[in-house]
Structure 1
Amino acid sequence: MTKTATKPLPRTPSLQKEAEALHAAVSDLVRIYQFRDRDKICCYDISVTQCYALEVLVERGPCRSQALAEALRLDKSTTTRVVDALARKGYVERLPDSEDARAVSLRVTSEGRTLYERINSELIAQQIDLIQDLDPDVCAAATEILKRLARAAKARFVSGVSVGSCAPACGTDGKCG
């Protein structure tokens, strides 16, 4: 079965209110999780971004810096600084790339994997505390909704719909201030 394009629903006052409520709820959740992650992760002497980099390398395996930068949605120089810090701490290593002798492949070390797994298990334990009193069907539905919202947001970001100038006051080059 082929999927046909559907027209967006017209903006109604009800849809506007639902979108505003969703925006507020997601903003609150993201803000709380950012602080929670920072407080939990930084006690291990790595930044949240460094932990995200470890996560990518653990889940996807070795990759080049450019692929890691794309996964983290960072520019290459910022990614290099993140990897440099992880390498100094012994959590990531640079190896010759198997496909291109001029390139370098990044790989998480066993120490990096152990650290990531410890942090991840603590964060999951916190999730258990949050959801243990929820009805399993409600929890499953909430998880599915969050996954769908994340996929939709990612698709918009990748397609360029969610990017562009940051505010009307930004210049035509997209730079503000």
Structure 2
Amino acid sequence: MTTMDAARELRRALRELVRLQQLRERDRTSAYGVTVSGAHVLEVLAERGALSLNALSAELFVDKSTACRTVGLLEDRGLVARLADSRDGRAIRVELTDDGRVLEARLRQDAVWEAEALLSALPAEDADGALRLIRELTRTSAAHAGAALAE
């Protein structure tokens, strides 16, 4: 197989995997009444703590207006709150509410359970190699896109 043929196969395999994961994620999040984007906001805030809209949009790889709309929907449900930044009174920070933390923990638990089921179907050395490969592909892809990944 040539490098170009391998690249075509990799692209197809990634497209299929990403699409299947998107469908599973949509099913999983809609069961809790949130969008996939909303679930991503909850996850980022759980991992990183309160963030400005600019920082949140950068973490999500979306523009500020998209992040603002998603935050607004979550705020309407009482899952996040917008607060004045203690360092800059003009700035707004977004943080999880108690209900947001509970929902994010449920969503994360469901996603981890599903990922564990996927990994357990593989021999341990294949699972470790798959994880390393996915992380490296993500880093390479982010570099090509000019995106910064959180460590």
Q: TM-score, normalised by structure 2?
A: 0.93
Residue matched to 1:67: 55
Residue matched to 2:80: 92
Distance across 2 between alignment mates of 1:46 and 1:14: 43
Displacement after TM superposition at 1:78 (Å): 1.4
Cα deviation digits, residues 124-146 of structure 1 (max 9, x gap): 11112222131111100000000
Q: 78, 86, 90: which is aligned to 2:66?
A: 78
**1 or 2, which has the higher helix percentage?**
2
Distance across 2 between alignment mates of 1:117 and 1:158: 30
Root-mean-square deviation over aligned CA pairs:
1.1
Number of matched pairs: 147
Distance across 2 between alignment mates of 1:133 and 1:88: 40
Q: 153, 156, 162: which is aligned to 2:141?
A: 153
Larger Rg: 1
Letter in 1 for 2:97: T
Q: TM-score, normalised by structure 1?
A: 0.80
Determine if the alignment matches structure 1 residue 137 to structure 2 residue 121: no
Q: Report sequence identity in percent.
A: 33
Cα deviation digits, residues 22-50 of structure 1 (max 9, x gap): 10110000000000000111111110000
| Structure 1 runs not aligned, ≥5 long | 1-12, 160-177
RCO comparison, higher one (Cα < 8 Å, 6+): 2
- Deviating 4+ runs (over 3 angstroms): none
Q: 102, 117, 120: which is aligned to 2:90?
A: 102
Distance across 2 between alignment mates of 1:109 and 1:60: 14
Residue matched to 2:11: 23
Alignment of 1:115-126 (within 5 A): 115-126=103-114
Residue matched to 1:51: 39
Distance across 2 between alignment mates of 1:111 and 1:37: 20
